[in-house]
Amino acid sequence: MRKGLLLSIILGILLIGLVSAVPTGLNIIYPQDQNYGENITHLDWSFEGSLNLTTDMCWYQLDSGDWKNFNCDENVTGINSIEGDNNWKLKINDSIGSTVIEPVNFWVDSIEPSLSLVNPSSSISYTNTNTLTLIVNLFEKNSGYYSGTREIRRIFYYPDSIGGSHDANYDLDINNDSDASHTLWNPADRAEGNYSYIAYAKDIFPNGSTIREISLEGVIVRDLTPPVINLTGSNNITIEFNTSYNELGATATDNLEGDISDKIIIDNSSLNVNVIGTYVLYYDVNDSAGNSAETVNRTVNVIDSTPPVLTLLGDNPQEIEVGASYVELGANATDNYDGNLTDNITIDNSSINTNVLGSYEVLYSVNDSFGNSANATRIVNVVDNTPPVLTLIGNSTLTLERGVDTYVEYGANATDNYDGNLTDNISITNPVDMNIAGIYEVIYYVEDSSGNNDSKIRIVNVIDTIAPLIRIHSPENITYTINNIDLNVSTNELNCDWKYSLDDGLNNESFVPNESLSSLNLPNGDYNLTVYVEDEVGNENSSMVSFNINIPVYNPSSSGRSGGSCKTVWNCTLWSNWSECVNGSQYQTCLEKERVRCGDGIRLSVLEKGKTRNFCVIIKGETEEEPLEEVEEPNEDTSEKGFFSSMTGSAIGFAKSGTGILTLIVIGFLLVSWTVLHFSRKRFKNS
């Protein structure tokens, strides 16, 4: 019982101690109860007392907002003050409800006021009066948080030429505008030049202390002298009617502003370039102070100095055939002001004579109402463009036989419309060659004195319907004792193709006339040689000759006694080409020779003379075959003589030999027997 009572007393005493222990010593270090010109963003505090329990809570309140707790070990951050009056509180309490609150009241003006111009509108202005007008506006966002008169201070500084200044304070009206105008009552304060100014305004706290001071500066230029205008170019110009006016412009200068040409106003409203007349243009300018320059005028004269346009109709130059009538082609005329002036054109064509060739002038002229004139000239050429007339005499086409007919020139006639008879002026180009078949054009040409010409063509057909003649000069219709045979032919036409055939199998072999056929090496026998010829137009002819080759064969006795003459018998193995034809003859010489048997050659002296032929010229223009001329061929003659000489020598040698004697006896016996038998048969028939 006693123990319980004692415990109750102790607990009561402890409870009374706890209740009576209220926290103390809370201080707000920043902000303080004062004015601030910037935004407050944190709250710094300290606590120097003690709490009843180990757990404590810390709170802050901005103005009349909600309480917000924070960490009691830190300052309050991340907050912002408001413009004007601020009431902040800090509170600490423990778990059993013990609380301490600390307030702070302070003023914040963090927004700088601004001064702006109302009149003039820019920091540089102009005036030509005695009043320097200056109205400014003070914009103060916090002006509603305090009461009292607001004012600005303005100082005008006079130009350096007079010096001095004027300083005054001006109250703001309900719109925060201040009339800071200043009238220069004192003539000594009046001058042309720059009146600079500066206006001051203060930003104050409710207690009247200054937070900051702002200012506004500018210049009012006092200008009493008007600008001067100078025209560019002449003040009296002339332009053509109905053309564009090109403004030459002007310049303007001011004593204070300098070049103000861009402010010039030009009045050209009266100008009408489509109406001829005199017009006045006006040039004006004002400087920024309102001073007006003396008006300058420019006179513009709109005139018509353009001549009419005169256009010829038709060709220029105009050509007229000689002897024809002149036809006037006319012209048109237009004017930029008067319009159509065609009816006013004068034409002078009096010089034209269409019967005489030549160049003439037709003159055209016209004037407009302002005396402007236009002229034109047409050249009229009286010409002869008619060609002469050329007429062939006889047929325009002739057909003549080559080598038979003769071309006869029949001529032509020519007449001209201006020159008359031009027959003697005809030129004839005659290419006809009666020796060559073909179609020829004989051209007749005539030209008059003006260069006009005419021409005609006569066609001459030179035909060839007659086959060419053939003359075979070699071989002849004789017996040859050699096989070196010449093929020597001729015809009465040029440029013929030749062929020959031999009955030994050589057919249609082409050849060139007068070439040797020795390469054929013809053996002994009878031959028929046919020669064919074809002229340029295809006429053909042929001729045949028969001849015989008989080369004796002699075999001397083995004893070799064949007579002394056999020792000098030779044969040519290589003949030269035929020489050029000179006076109808050609020659051939032996280049290589060899000794041969008595019957196979000729004497050396004869061989060295060579060979000659006399028909190397082709006969032209003959229509009949002429008698052939004897051809001297020494080789053949001497060959025959050699043959007989060799035969004689051989016979004598043979007769001297034993075999020869026996042979002669047998031959004699046979002849006697044949004679007896022949006469016996004849007598038998008669009986």
- Model confidence over 500-543: pLDDT tens digits? 888 756 677 888 876 655 456 678 888 898 999 998 888 999 99
In this predicted structure, what is the pLDDT of residue 8?
Answer: 55
Give the whole-angstrom CA distance, residue 384 versus residue 387. Answer: 8
Query: Minimal CA–CA distance to 221: which of 256, 186, 183?
Result: 256
Q: Which two tokens stand for residue 593?
A: 């020779």
In this predicted structure, what is the pLDDT of residue 525?
Answer: 86
Residues 375 and 346 sit within 8 Å (Cβ to Cβ): no
Greater model confidence, 263 or 550 = 263
| pLDDT, mean of residues 22-43 | 87
- Model confidence over 105-155: pLDDT tens digits? 999 988 888 888 888 989 999 999 999 988 888 887 665 554 455 678 888
Q: Which two tokens stand for residue 88?
A: 């902040």
Q: Which residue has the tokens 């020489």?
A: 579
Q: Which residue has the tokens 């509170």?
A: 91
Lowest mean pLDDT among 44-48, 299-303, 394-398: 44-48
DSSP label at 286? B
Backbone angles phi, psi at 372, to 5 degrees: -75, 130
Element (H or E) spanning 17, and its range? helix 2-20
Strands annotated E in 506-557:
509-510, 525-534, 540-549
pLDDT at 602 over 60: yes
Residues 74 and 60 sit within 8 Å (Cβ to Cβ): no
In this predicted structure, what is the pLDDT of residue 634?
Answer: 39
Alpha-carbon distances, residue 569 vs 15, 134, 646 (angstroms): 194, 162, 9
Helix axes 658-686, 634-656, angle to 10 degrees: 100
Instruction: Region of 441 please: left (phi>0), alpha (psi -120 to 50) or beta.
Output: beta
Which residues, 6 or more positions from 314, have their beta carbon under 8 angstroms from its beta carbon? 329, 330
In this predicted structure, what is the pLDDT of residue 326?
Answer: 95
Q: Are strands 35-36 and 99-108 parallel, antiparallel or unpaired?
A: parallel
Greater model confidence, 52 or 417 = 417
In this predicted structure, what is the pLDDT of residue 318?
Answer: 96
CA dihedral 30, 32, 34, 38 (to 10 degrees): 10
Query: Minimal CA–CA distance to 41: which of 79, 88, 74?
Result: 79
Alpha-carbon distances, residue 598 vs 426, 483, 589, 657, 660 (angstroms): 78, 17, 22, 18, 18
Give the whole-angstrom CA distance, residue 62 versus residue 40. Answer: 11
Q: Which of 158-162, 314-318, 587-591, 614-618 has the highest mean pLDDT?
A: 314-318
Alpha-carbon distances, residue 601 vs 226, 473, 594, 638, 646 (angstroms): 149, 24, 9, 9, 9
Q: Which residues of 160-194 are buried (b: 16+ CB within 10 A; e: fewer)?
A: eeeeeebeeebebeeebbbbbebebeeeebebeeb
pLDDT at 223 over 60: yes
- Model confidence over 173-220: pLDDT tens digits? 777 777 778 888 888 888 999 999 998 888 888 777 888 888 899 999
- Model confidence over 420-444: pLDDT tens digits? 999 999 999 999 999 888 999 999 9
Residue type for position 635 = N
Residue type for position 125 = S
Q: Which two tokens stand for residue 612?
A: 């000659």
In this predicted structure, what is the pLDDT of residue 680?
Answer: 59
Residue 445 exposed, middle or buried by CB count within 10 Å (0-12, 13-18, 19+): middle
Residues 536 and 569 sit within 8 Å (Cβ to Cβ): no
| pLDDT, mean of residues 292-318 | 96
| pLDDT, mean of residues 371-381 | 96
| pLDDT, mean of residues 534-558 | 78
Query: What is the percent of the chain where pLDDT is above 70?
Result: 79
CA angle 320, 325, 326 (to 5 degrees): 65
| Of the options 2.60.40.10, 3.90.550.10, 3.40.630.70, 3.30.365.10, the CATH number for the domain spanning 114-222 | 2.60.40.10
DSSP label at 463? E
Give the whole-angstrom CA distance, residue 287 versus residue 297. Answer: 19
Residues 501 and 526 sit within 8 Å (Cβ to Cβ): no
Average pLDDT, the chain: 82
Residues 38 and 212 sit within 8 Å (Cβ to Cβ): no
Q: Where are the alpha helices (DSSP H) in 483-527?
A: none
Q: Which two tokens stand for residue 299?
A: 């006179």
| Of the options 3.30.470.20, 3.90.1150.10, 2.60.40.10, 2.40.420.20, the CATH number for the domain spanning 228-303 | 2.60.40.10
Q: Class assignment of domain 389-463? A: mainly beta
Query: What is the percent of the chain where pLDDT is above 90?
Result: 44
In this predicted structure, what is the pLDDT of residue 79?
Answer: 95
In this predicted structure, what is the pLDDT of residue 181?
Answer: 82
Give the whole-angstrom CA distance, residue 83 versus residue 143. Answer: 11
Q: Where are the alpha helices (DSSP H) in 502-581?
A: none
Give the other-Cβ count within 10 Å of 635's Cβ.
21
Greater model confidence, 574 or 668 = 574
In this predicted structure, what is the pLDDT of residue 184?
Answer: 86
In this predicted structure, what is the pLDDT of residue 56?
Answer: 67
Has domain 309-383 been given CATH number 3.40.50.2300? no
Lowest mean pLDDT among 1-5, 322-326, 488-492, 653-657: 653-657
Which residues, 6 or more positions from 499, have their beta carbon under 8 angstroms from its beta carbon? 508, 509, 510, 511, 531, 532
Give the whole-angstrom CA distance, residue 332 versus residue 362. Answer: 15
